Amino acid sequence: QSNVTSYAATIVAIITLEGFAGMWINAFIVSVICMAWIKKETLNSNEKILLFLGCIRFWYLCILWVYDFLSVIYPKYLYVQRTLQLVVSIQIFLNCSNIWGSACLFGFYCIKIANFTNSFFIYLKVKIDRIVPWLLLVSVFSSLIIGIFVYNVTNNDFSKKLNFICQGIIWSASAGEEERFFFTYLLIGFGYVTSFVAVIFSALLLLFSLWRHKRNMQTNSMRDLSMEAHIKAMKSVLSFLVMYSINFIILIMILTYTVGGQNHMKFFINVFLCAFPGVHSLILICSNPKLEKSLLRILFCVKCKVCMK
């Protein structure tokens, strides 16, 4: 009993630390962009996507923390009709919006930074600022449809007293019961695969363009600030690609494996799901001069106040 209590306390402590850190980071992004919005009365496409991701990730971490906290500390309050279904469907809606929003950001960077002479690519580069709001709207609408569908499926089966175990978006059921969720798995998996393919394709195009530009500058002995910016961009692309790939593998593991009784696997999955929104948002801050400057200013003020005490 003491081991179980200690294990539960460890899970809650780590998830809480990651969750609140991620919430603070994304709240910071939202606040900085909103202040810029009020000051300029307009936002560019990059800021629109960052604002969208910041809001989605903040609420995603809130819901994920609430679910993990209740499932570990007060499970009986969570596993009642409609409460569990509502939490799971909101979590899936926010998670799908998060991964598609991340794919939109990656595609936007690819179109803006990469240099290709293809006519379609040039057309996208010209029209991208008009396309971005529609992409975000489609992401929200598609995620909402998936969330509503998941709520209806889980609510119907719960009403029929279906005995299943839910961990975020994991159901452990018998072979006959799993058929009821097959279309749900297929729908969510299709969303994950689509976003991952878009990210991989954009990353390959962007890395090829950056590598070609870097090679041309080296050939012409042009080691300037532009080359350093391209090297920094390549590092950001690779770091995000690695994180996104790991996140994709974790999400597919959730859909394809039953981990209802494997506490260590649950722990690993929850830790990474909480870490990804915060860590990636921190990378976005470091790669954005305006956000990085604001963060350094805040940290400097905090340091001064601490030193004065």
Per DSSP, the residues of 69-110 read HHHHH-HHHHSSTTHHHHHHHHHHHHHHHHHHHHHHHHHHHH
Percent of the chain with pLDDT over 90: 14
Domain count, the chain: 1
Alpha carbons within 13 A on the beta-carbon side of 277 = 39
Average pLDDT over residues 277-284: 86
Q: Which residues sit opposite 171 in a β-bridge?
A: 166
Range name among 31-40, 71-80, 170-179 with the lowest pLDDT average: 170-179
pLDDT tens digits, residue range 109-168?
888 877 777 888 888 888 888 999 999 999 999 899 888 888 877 666 555 444 444 444
Q: What is the pTM of this model?
A: 0.83
pLDDT tens digits, residue range 22-32?
999 999 999 99
Range name among 60-64, 93-97, 155-159 with the lowest pLDDT average: 155-159
Per DSSP, the residues of 201-270 read HHHHHHHHHHHHHHHHHHHTT--SHHHHHHHHHHHHHHHHHHHHHHHHHHHHHHHHS--TT-HHHHHHHH
Instruction: Return the number of other C-beta atoms located less than 10 Å from residue 47's C-beta.
Output: 20
CATH code of the domain covering residue 291? 1.20.1070.10
Predicted confidence (pLDDT) at residue 267 exceeds the cutoff of 70? no
Is residue 235 within 8 A of residue 211, CB to CB? The reply is no
Tokens representing 140?
């929200």
Predicted confidence (pLDDT) at residue 226 exceeds the cutoff of 60? no
How much is the pLDDT for 147?
A: 86
Residue-number span of the structural domain to which 51 is assigned: 1-308
In this structure, what DSSP letter does residue 180 have?
G
